[in-house]
Chain A
């Protein structure tokens, strides 16, 4: 599903690697821990760990 921009991923990201303004954007600081994907309510994030 598409990101709705709820910001849940920003809140749980421990490396501050996600910005949101209507839609989340994952930056280069992402360590692919996968926490954001677990908290995403619309399953918009896939992380290969």
Chain B
């Protein structure tokens, strides 16, 4: 009896989307080979040690919906043994100490995220209660989140809070996120609740996925750059790496639609393909800055997010060592801020960082800390390769048969950061399996 050969899959990129796909397929009986250009696995979702601190290469060490969200569910289904500890409180909001102050220079007070409506007038509190119920039945479909708030509530506080929340979770301003997407995210917050910290940071998840891939016969190459995707009769049939051809039945790319398309060879121009190229022109990667802080004492004192809507640039801060002390040297704490950088500010990045550093001084006035590292992300190494899943009408499939896109360039709808990556991988697996 002849053995049926296993379908062969090549995965380009060892980031979270690539590894989730590889692990799922290798467990489903596919022959899987992953090619990673860098010497390390994980892309922007792993840790690198710097002066004893486990700094992430891109993502924050935080899973937006903790142990109940789409990523955690997918990891569980794959048998990944990683402990994701729920942040409690999930988030605090830092307000100026005195009503009427526009920054934190005269002190601050923190309120729970669920009490976000406290600063609103009685009328606007009533409006938000009614709108919360109405939008569950009739979710808004058009315009940006900022436009929606401005149209229905007209309160500067909500615009500030939207900027802080969207800046932290998506590296976008409230004016740059579609209201439909924002409400899907709010709905998921109710459904899955708030964030959690993976013990061991992002690297614990990546290493566990790498183990699943290799223990099931998959191969992971590092330092191997895919220079082309072979296309024959409209179908992906392999890749080229260092001049050698590797044939396969399916190619999954974790490097976004634009880069993947650039690698494709011999695509015959068709109406569908031309439409696809038009969509690619609309894709905009999101940009942001992370400032990593080291301290002897806790700076925020909990494992949730500290949203800072009254800061000039910083959208929020977390301090993961309150949940996993091993992400810093003994007795030390690691806090990381994030600030969205708008596209029109990318040419003034150093000034944007200076404003972020001023914010840190205001937010932690009187506290001792050290700036460990300032990490910025944009362009080819962005916060997200596609700022929003609603920007373009391309998802995980491409006009090339058996060529799929996963990762932050093709997130599932309504998923914050890595949750969106997990949803995108789930969509892709539905098409393949």
Contact = CB atoms under 8 A, between A and B. Distances in A.
Contact of B374 (A2, A5, A41): A5
A5 B349 contact: yes
Interface string B30-48: 0000000111100100001
A21 B349 CA distance: 9
Contacts, number: 64
A20 interface: yes
A15 to B, nearest CB: 14
Contact of B39 (A1, A6, A38): A38
A39 B40 contact: yes
A12 B379 contact: no
B58 A6 contact: yes
A4 B48 CA distance: 18
B381 A41 contact: yes
**Chain A: interface residue count, which band?**
10 to 19
Contacts of B55: 7, 11
B349 A1 contact: no
Interface in A1-49: 1-2, 4-8, 10-12, 20-23, 38-39, 41-42
Interface string B346-371: 00011011000000000000000000
A20 B379 contact: no
Interface of A: 1-2, 4-8, 10-12, 20-23, 38-39, 41-42
Interface of B: 37-40, 43, 48-50, 55, 57-58, 223, 289, 349-350, 352-353, 373-382
Given A5-B375, A22-B374, 17 more contacts: A2-B379, A6-B375, A6-B381, A7-B376, A10-B50, A11-B50, A20-B373, A20-B374, A22-B352, A38-B223, A39-B38, A39-B39, A41-B37, A41-B380, A41-B381, A42-B380, A42-B381
